[in-house]
Amino acid sequence: MAISALLICLADGKFHSGEQLGRLLGISRSAVWKQLQAIEEKTGLTFFKVPGKGYRLAEPLELLTPHLIKCVDWPVSILDTIDSTNAEALRRVLNGATQPPFVLLAEHQTSGRGRRGRLWVSPYAKNIYLTLALSIQGGVRQLEGLSLVVGLAVVITLRKIGLKDVGLKWPNDILLHNRKLAGVLVEISGDPADICTAIIGIGLNVNMRSAENIDQPWISLHEAIGHPVSRNELVSGLLEELRVLLGLHQEQGFAELGKRWEENHLWQGREVVLSSGVHQVNGTVLGIGLDGSLRLNVDGHEKSFSGGELSLRLNNDS
């Protein structure tokens, strides 16, 4: 679904009369009012309606804009509302509608999701909801550490805009001041041992200032920096970092990038609890393996752990 032309007109946060909007869009004033009601219902955005002045958004809105997003290697599509950018990318791959590589961005997700089936809260035009679909050849080696490389690209992008304290938590979280700022979800379609498609999803809290139904401490760039952040510029920087790091990963494997990942791991050397259902392991973080697995010192012995259902937290006693 395309972004509403009426919303584009009102994105500047200024008052626009119903007559002016109707003239610009070629519709009646009553049609403007009906469209505004529909936009409010669909997006959750709030409009002020003042007699004699017209309509305006509660605050200005930066919409994702194709010509403002720079991407060298991959075609970029911007969606309005979708269930999930990962789900849509997978549908396009499976039905042959779009061949990888490609990037999908959305203003809003109705069923955004993170690891372990968790809900990813996705308010309209506040954050980044991005999926990169890549064709992977060369077998399992090309998938080793892939999600960790993506997380590293996010951290490097954020460091470049001034976030010195941002870092990684194994396997796929980006934290700032012990609160979640971003997450990565990589899903595989096809045969991992031969040719497959990696559906690489990134959710990044940018200008969100309030949210419900988030089950862990979170933070946004707006809160961290103290002012709104351009999502178009941020996406451009992130796509460039992804292009560089994923290229290195494809050419050299995960070994060298793994060292950089460890340098940015906030819990390196910390005592942690690793959980899988009711089973728990206590240990000290040694680093990560060549396959992206977590290396722990458990009772004096090094052990490695990997898997999508694992959960890591700091030991309360550390």
Which residues participate in the annotated binding site for biotin? 84-86, 109, 113-115, 180
- Indicate the residue type of 211: A
Structural contact between residues 179 and 187, judged by C-beta atoms closer than 8 angstroms: no
Q: Catalytic residue at 115?
A: yes
Contacts of 211 (CB under 8 A, 6+ apart): 121, 123, 218
What distance in Å separates the CA atoms of residue 254 and residue 42, rounded to the nearest whole number? 42
Catalytic residue among 92, 169, 180, 231: 180
Catalytic residue among 92, 115, 169, 231: 115
Residues belonging to the binding site are 84-86, 109, 113-115, 180
Q: Catalytic residue at 313?
A: yes
Structural contact between residues 43 and 98, judged by C-beta atoms closer than 8 angstroms: no
| Side-by-side strand order, sheet with 271-276 | 301-305, 294-298, 279-288, 271-276, 311-314
Catalytic residue among 141, 160, 209, 313: 313
> Going by DSSP bridges, is the β-strand pair 102-109/301-305 parallel, antiparallel, or unpaired?
unpaired
| Side-by-side strand order, sheet with 195-204 | 76-82, 102-109, 128-137, 195-204, 179-190, 173-176, 167-169
Q: Which residues are catalytic?
A: 115, 180, 313
